[in-house]
């Protein structure tokens, strides 16, 4: 019996990629960086954020490394923090929930289910994101993997989230945009899962798949 639906946050409920694109374009122009800044920032960010998720570097260190790589200059920690703050201000100003996020979370509650968020992120940062996008009031529980011993797709991330939510893995459905982190990892941990594939990036994936949260059924 289903008792909880566990959602990923970035690019599932919140348009994180869109916010990053807008933010880095303005930030790069301010510092004279040209070229395909969006793709370059995405690659650099992905590489260092994965290091953070593997616990190789801290949350603040991954921000500093992204800044150094993107701007291509030697920076001490204070300089890197100050420069990243310019990007962060732009980025946070662009945070917005997808149009289908709030209606879906409300459908979850109307069905008598718990609405949980499991995110590979730093807890204070992700709580701020919920607050600024208006999602905090719609979510029963936020679990950030900075508060866990491992990040998705480690099975412990899903199982400990279920434990915090007071449900068994078999009683939870994981919903997210990452095939590896939100679907395959969750299935391996004993949960059911649905891939949110807004841009039809995984047409051949042999998993349950929806193009919008509006199409999510349970």
pLDDT of 38 reads 97
Alpha-carbon span 68 to 66, nearest angstrom: 6
The H or E element that residue 141 is part of is strand 141-144
- In this structure, the strands spanning 192-196 and 114-119 are unpaired
Domain ranges of the chain: 4-15+96-215, 16-93
Domain 4-15+96-215 has CATH 3.40.50.1000: yes
pLDDT at 192: 98
Q: What is the model's pLDDT at position 205?
A: 95
- Average pLDDT value for residue range 86-92: 98
- Cα distance between the two ends of the chain: 11
The model's pLDDT over 111-124, given as tens digits with 9 standing for 90+, comes to 999 999 999 999 99
Instruction: Find the mean pLDDT for residues 73-101.
Output: 98
Residue 124 pLDDT:
97
Per-residue pLDDT, averaged over 47-54, amounts to 96
Whether 8 contacts 119, CB under 8 Å: yes
Output the CA angle 23-26-31, nearest 5 degrees.
120
| pLDDT for position 164 | 98
Average pLDDT over the chain, rounded to whole?
97
Average pLDDT of span 37-51:
97
Q: What is the per-residue pLDDT for 186? A: 98
Percent of the chain at pLDDT exceeding 90: 100
What is the gyration radius of the CA atoms in the chain, in angstroms?
18
CB 212 within 8 A of CB 181: no
């Amino acid at each position: 019996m289903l008792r909880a639906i566990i959602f990923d946050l970035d690019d599932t409920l919140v348009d994180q990629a869109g916010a990053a694109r807008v933010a880095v374009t303005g930030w790069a122009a301010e510092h004279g960086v040209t070229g395909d800044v969006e793709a370059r920032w995405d690659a650099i960010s992905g590489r260092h954020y994965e290091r953070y998720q593997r616990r190789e570097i801290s949350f603040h260190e991954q921000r500093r490394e992204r800044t150094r790589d993107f701007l291509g200059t030697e920076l001490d920690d204070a300089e890197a923090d100050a420069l990243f703050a310019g990007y962060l201000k732009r980025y946070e100003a662009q945070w917005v929930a997808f149009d289908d996020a709030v209606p879906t979370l409300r459908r979850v509650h109307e069905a008598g289910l718990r609405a949980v968020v499991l995110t590979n992120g730093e807890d204070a940062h992700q709580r701020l994101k919920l607050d600024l996008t208006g999602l905090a009031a719609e979510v029963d529980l936020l679990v950030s993997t900075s508060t866990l011993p491992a990040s998705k797709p480690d099975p412990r991330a899903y199982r400990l989230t279920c434990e915090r939510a007071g449900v068994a893995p078999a009683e939870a459905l994981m919903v997210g945009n990452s095939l590896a982190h939100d679907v395959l990892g969750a299935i391996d941990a004993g949960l059911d899962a649905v891939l949110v594939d807004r841009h039809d990036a995984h047409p051949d994936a042999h998993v349950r798949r929806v193009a919008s949260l509006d199409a999510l059924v349970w």
